[in-house]
């Protein structure tokens, strides 16, 4: 929604788009909030499933997705803030150039703020990928895909932007984050956890025996 309304090199058109399509922007903001809300039960679900592999790593992964979700939730205010600024009656007397300058700030801040949340999410993906790889009840390929996705989040989506460096060429065309997250979601929805192996690993850890 946001990308459809914001014209980076034309703030006058951006302001016009925001005012003309307020409902669309509000729908996008609401969807962004729902995504963040879903991240928290997702993190808890994966923690409960994977703590049998390594409880400390699983807990660390949970902490990172909580931090990521918190940052993303706070950054979502930059999503809706340009519209709220345009609706404030105190700014009605401002000229077009002043109004455009006001809304430019939160629009520009959204990207770095989102990148910061993705840096923490990238660590979550790497830790989760490690646990998937070590587990005996998920395919190891899922672990590899999640580790690659996490590394991509940390580089192209986060630190390369922080350092004002160009993104790694060609990798973006492979869409590693999309592939990993869709694969993980489809596996959980369609195949699920190998319950027999999961319960065997739980019993082995509880009894102190090595996992066969």
All residue ranges of the chain with pLDDT < 50 are none
Quote the number of domains for the chain.
Answer: 1
Gap between the Cα atoms of 141 and 78, Å rounded: 37
Q: Determine, yes or no, domain membership for 95.
A: yes
What pLDDT is stored for residue 194 in this prediction?
87
Predicted local distance difference test score (pLDDT) of residue 211: 59
Q: Do residues 135 and 53 touch, judged by C-beta distance below 8 A? A: yes
Are residues 40 and 69 in contact, defined by beta-carbon separation less than 8 angstroms? yes
What the block records as the tokens of 144 is: 């590899």
- pLDDT value for 149: 95
Question: What pLDDT does 195 receive?
Answer: 87
Query: Cβ neighbours of residue 108 under 8 Å, at least 6 residues apart?
Result: none
Instruction: Judge whether 129 and 144 are in contact, CB under 8 Å.
Output: yes
pLDDT of residue 168: 77
Neighbours of 22 (CB within 10 A): 14
Residue with tokens 């979502």: 76
What would the pLDDT profile of 168-198 be if each residue is shown by its tens digit?
Answer: 777 766 788 999 999 999 999 999 988 888 8
User: Considering only CA atoms, which of 70, 156, 161 is closest in space to residue 111?
Assistant: 161
Residue 174 belongs to a domain: yes
Per-residue pLDDT, 122? 96
Alpha helices in the chain (DSSP H): 2-5, 11-20, 22-50, 55-75, 77-87, 96-134, 140-154, 160-162, 171-174, 176-186, 195-207
pLDDT value of residue 64: 98
Domain limits for position 41 = 2-207
Mind listing the pLDDT tens digit for each residue in 35-51?
999 999 999 999 999 99
How high is the pLDDT of residue 210?
61
- Structure tokens belonging to residue 12: 């006058």
CB atoms within 10 A of CB 174: 11
Whether the pTM exceeds 0.75: the reply is yes
Closest of 129, 128, 123, 140 to residue 48, by C-alpha = 128
Whole-number Å distance between alpha carbons of 209 and 85: 61
How far apart CA 81 and CA 61 sit, in angstroms, is 31
Residue 186 lies in a domain: yes
- Sequence-distant (≥ 6) Cβ neighbours of residue 204 within 8 angstroms: 210, 211, 212
* Within-domain flag for 8: yes
Contact between 125 and 42 under an 8 Å Cβ cutoff? The reply is no
């Amino acid at each position: 929604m946001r990308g459809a309304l914001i014209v980076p090199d034309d703030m006058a058109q951006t302001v016009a788009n925001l005012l003309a399509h307020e409902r669309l922007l509000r729908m996008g903001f609401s969807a962004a909030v729902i995504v963040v809300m879903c991240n928290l039960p997702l993190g808890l679900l994966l923690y409960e499933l994977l703590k049998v592999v390594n409880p400390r790593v699983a807990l660390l992964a949970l902490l990172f997705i909580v931090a990521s979700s918190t940052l993303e939730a706070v950054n979502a205010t930059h999503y809706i803030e340009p519209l709220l600024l345009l609706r404030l009656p105190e700014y009605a007397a401002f000229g077009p150039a002043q109004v455009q300058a006001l809304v430019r700030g939160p629009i520009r801040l959204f990207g770095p703020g989102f990148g910061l949340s993705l840096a923490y999410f990238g660590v979550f993906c790497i830790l989760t990928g490690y646990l998937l790889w070590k587990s005996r009840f998920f395919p190891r390929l899922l672990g590899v895909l999640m580790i690659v996705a996490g590394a991509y989040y940390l580089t192209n989506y986060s630190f390369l932007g922080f350092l004002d460096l160009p993104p790694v060429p060609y990798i973006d065309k492979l869409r590693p984050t999309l592939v990993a997250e869709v694969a993980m979601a489809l596996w959980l929805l369609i195949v699920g956890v190998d319950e027999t192996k999961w319960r065997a690993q739980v019993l082995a850890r509880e009894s102190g025996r090595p996992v066969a």
